[in-house]
Amino acid sequence: EVQLVESGGGLVQPGGSLRLSCAASGFTFSSYEMNWVRQAPGKGLEWVSYISSSGSTIYYADSVKGRFTISRDNAKNSLYLQMNSLRAEDTAVYYCAPSAAGGGFDYWGQGTLVTVSS
């Protein structure tokens, strides 16, 4: 059974930092491209970042480029998102999701809530 467990969310002040983690199991993590997707309260889904299976190719949404860093540890079956210079508009539930064939997402974690507020 595929499991994706996000952690590391919480309350942080504007300008602060957080590191999110996603623990994956039930599939060959090292073979899958991975993504972070977020959803602000009452808003739609927003793609945040992508990393290839080897980690050699990385993309970011314009809204987080230069502030967020995606990484992975295939030996630990884990995905990470280092978030710096956080803003109120980064407040959201953050999900990790592996890319399925055709670029869809057939598995999602339960998400971790990040709240940026003073």
Partner 1 sequence: SYVLTQPPSVSVAPGKTARITCGGNNIGSKSVHWYQQKPGQAPVLVIYYDSDRPSGIPERFSGSNSGNTATLTISRVEAGDEADYYCQVWDSSSDHPVVFGGGTKLTVL
Nearer to partner 1, 29 or 50 (CB): 50
Q: Residues near 86 by Cβ (< 8 Å), separated by ≥ 6?
A: 12, 13, 14, 15, 16, 17, 18, 67, 114, 116
Structure tokens, 38: 């977020």
> Do β-strands 10-12 and 112-116 pair in parallel, antiparallel, or remain unpaired?
parallel
Smallest distance, Å, CB 52 to partner 1? 11
- Taking the complex as a whole, how short is the minimal distance between the CB of residue 57 and partner 1, in angstroms? 9
Binding region for partner 1 (CB under 8 A): 35, 37, 44-47, 50, 59, 61-62, 95, 99-106, 108-111
Of 16 and 60, nearer to partner 1 (C-beta) is 60
Q: Which C-beta is closer to partner 1: that of 17 or that of 57?
A: 57
Could you tell me if 93 and 28 are in contact, meaning their C-beta atoms sit under 8 angstroms apart? no
Q: How far is the CB of 20 from partner 1 (least distance, A)?
A: 15
